[in-house]
Structure formats: structure tokens, C-alpha cells
Amino acid sequence: MDWLADWGRERAAAGLQRELTPRAAGDPAIDLASNDYLGLTRHPAVLDGAIAALRRWGAGSTGSRLVTGTTAEHELLEVELAEFTGAESGLVFASGYAANLAVLTTLAGPDTLIVSDAASHASLVDGCRLARGRVAVVPHADVDAVAALLRDRAEPRALVVTDSVFSADGDLAPLADLHRVVRANRAVLVVDEAHAIGVRGTGGRGLVHETGLAGEPDVVITATLSKALAAQGGVVLAADRVRNHLVNTARSFIFDTGLAPAAVGAARAALRVLRAEPERAGAVLDRAGDLARLAGVAAPPSAVVSVVLGDPERAVAAAAACRAAGVSVGCFRPPSVPPGTSRLRLTARANLTAAELDTIEQVLRTVLVEVPA
């Protein structure tokens, strides 16, 4: 296994070595690194929802969803998420990663063309690889390239795969145009709404809903419960026949332990808070605009503010300097982003305060000037 050490040295020399850093309970740093977009992770109602489900159903789900891992709580969450997003039905998974693997490996096969955006999330990329179909990666947001591949394909079936909000840059997929070419070519559009639920659309219902595509039979939504909904797990939102197909064929559903009851209870409670306080979705975008202004970059259409620094060492140094000054930020380097585009990734929260924004301004102003290129 000596080659592992060789690879480790190569990573370190390129500035790409990663280390695990445990998060302290009650960390006083201002959080611009997590995906807690609505600021609900410690909301009393969300904690109470998790505790109530924990006490009623126990610490674990005890088995796969098809054996003992489904509770009434799971089924209620599926119904509530489907109703909220305008889908016909929902199916909850142990993670968003598992949900993406399930959709791609069960809706595609050797007779399927899969067209994937170049900036698709790693879970979509891995799902494409496992699906056994022909995979074509198109330039980012290139609808014409998608249309040409669908039009000229030899395969009888086709999937078009994209994030709705891209996690590194925070930009939006052209969903309306993609759906137009999907419909014209008898394909299916698979949209990962991980970074859109709770942020985009009326009351945070997502970009698919905002674009008017909710409930369309040729649209399949995947999403995570671990970002705006402050819990853990994933969900597929689609037509009833898609749900039935996944229950019977998706290996990452059939052979995986069901989502823990506490996470289900927390997600249900977070969804209730969002329904009662839909203004939280707009507040996320407002705070993202504030962060972008303080960082000197264009305001994003999502919660993600990307500050490209180029060199991975500079990005790591800038993130460390921010942390030392009391502001926790994300640091994205290859392979998460293309070479030469290492960056700070600032994520907005709906409950950022004016005092916190003042501190962030001072820290960013100092760090972005003083950390050398």
C-alpha cells in the first residue's frame, strides 16, 4: 500500500490535502459554511419534533424500509413533501446521495441515453456511472447541446440530469428550456433540488415549482432533508408510478436501513416552520445579496455566494484566516471545482443578524486584501 503515501504527498504538494475538523458544540464562530439556509438546525420546534419522534419510535429505524424501517412518520413526511412541492408522491431515503443513485440506476439502463450537465453534483455523476447507459456530459447549462443529443440518439429512452441550483457557483439551471427539449424528444428530466428547496419558489417550494413544472409526469425531483430542512436524509418527488418502481427496484432503497425517526421528525417540524413562516425563503436571498456585496461579487440567485480566488493554497489560507477571526466559511478546491477556480463558498442563512453582517464585513475586507495571491 505504499502508493497511498505517494498519492498523499502529491495531494499535499498540490494544496489538495483534506483533514477532518470536528465541530465544537456551541461554536461561537459566525456560520457561513454550513447549508443551514433557513437557520432551523437549533430551532426549538425542530428539536422538539426530533425528540418526539425519537421517544415514540426509538433511536434507529431498525431495518430497511421494506421490512421494519417504515413508520407512520416516514409516510406522513412523504405526503407532506409531495404536497408542498406539487408532486404526486414522495419516497424518503437515508440520504440525498442514495436518492440520486436510486433514480438514475432504476430509470436508466443499457437502452438509455443519460445527458448530464458538466456541473452536476457528484451523486448524480456516480448515479450516471452506475446506470449502465450511455452517458453524455454537456457544457454547463447548454440547452442546445442537450437538444442535439436527444434528437440524434439511437436509444429509445433518455434522461436529462441537472441540479436546479448548482452547489459551487449558486447559479440556476435553465429548467424551462430543458423541459421544452425533454418534452419534444420524449425524455425525462431529473432535477436535484438540494439547494433550491427552502430558498427558491413561493415559500421555498423549489425551482421546479417556481418554473411551473411541478407535477409534470416527465419531471423527477430529488432533494435532501439536510440543508434548508435542517435534518438528514433524501427524497424523490415524482409520479406515483415512479415511486412504485423505486420501491420495487432501487437497491439504495431496498438494501439500506431506513432514515432514523429523529431525522424524520425534525424534517417534518422544519417543513411546518417554513409553511408558517414562508418569508424565511426570501430572507435567505436577501442575506445572500448582503454577503455578495460585502465580498465584492455579484449577488447570486440562491443562498450560495462564491468568491473565486484561483489558487488552492490561497483559498485554504483565506478560509483559515476567516476562521481565526471568528467567521467559518467553506473552501472549495478541485475536484469539487475546476482547476484554477478554488474559492471561498459563503452560504447565507435567513437569520443572519445585522451585527453578524458587520463582523463579516470587517473580516472579509481584511482577509481578501491581506491573503496573498
Tens digits of residue pLDDT in 250-302? 999 999 999 999 999 999 999 999 999 999 999 999 999 999 999 999 999 99
Look at residue 9 in the predicted model and tell me its pLDDT: 92
Residue bearing cell 443578524? 353
Look at residue 373 in the predicted model and tell me its pLDDT: 62
User: For the stretch 321-335, what's the b/e string if a residue is b when 16 or more beta carbons lie within 10 angstroms of its beta carbon?
Assistant: bbbebebbbbbbbee
Look at residue 21 in the predicted model and tell me its pLDDT: 85
Which class does domain 44-276 fall in? alpha beta
List of E strands, the chain:
30-32, 89-93, 112-117, 134-138, 157-163, 188-192, 219-224, 234-238, 304-310, 327-332, 342-347
Look at residue 88 in the predicted model and tell me its pLDDT: 98
Q: How far is CA 363 from the centre of its chain?
A: 27
Q: Are 293 and 96 in contact (CB under 8 A)?
A: no
Look at residue 287 in the predicted model and tell me its pLDDT: 98
Q: Which pLDDT band holds residue 19 (cuts at 50, 70, 90)?
A: confident
Rounded to whole angstroms, the maximal C-alpha distance in the chain is 59
CA angle 354, 274, 169 (to 5 degrees): 65
Q: Please report, rounded to a whole number, the percentage of residues in the chain having pLDDT higher than 90.
A: 93
- Strand 234-238 versus strand 327-332 pairing type: unpaired
Q: Please report, rounded to a whole number, the percentage of residues in the chain having pLDDT higher than 70.
A: 99
pLDDT digits (tens, 9 = 90+) for 218-241: 999 999 999 999 999 999 999 999
**In the chain, where the domains are located:** 44-276, 278-370
Q: How far is CA 186 from the centre of its chain?
A: 27
Computed from CA positions of residues 73, 78, 83, 89, in that sequence, does the dihedral angle turn out positive or negative?
A: negative
Superfamily of domain 278-370 in CATH is Aspartate Aminotransferase, domain 1 (3.90.1150.10)
The answer to whether the predicted template modeling score (pTM) of the entire model surpasses 0.85 is yes
Partners of 113 in the beta sheet? 134, 158
The torsion angles phi and psi of 342, rounded to 5 degrees, stand at -55, 150
The C-alpha cell that represents 330 in the structure block? 467553506
Q: Which pLDDT band holds residue 371 (cuts at 50, 70, 90)?
A: confident
Q: Which pLDDT band holds residue 369 (cuts at 50, 70, 90)?
A: confident
pLDDT digits (tens, 9 = 90+) for 64-97: 999 999 999 999 999 999 999 999 999 999 999 9
Partners of 229 in the beta sheet? none
Look at residue 16 in the predicted model and tell me its pLDDT: 87
Look at residue 336 in the predicted model and tell me its pLDDT: 87
Look at residue 15 in the predicted model and tell me its pLDDT: 85
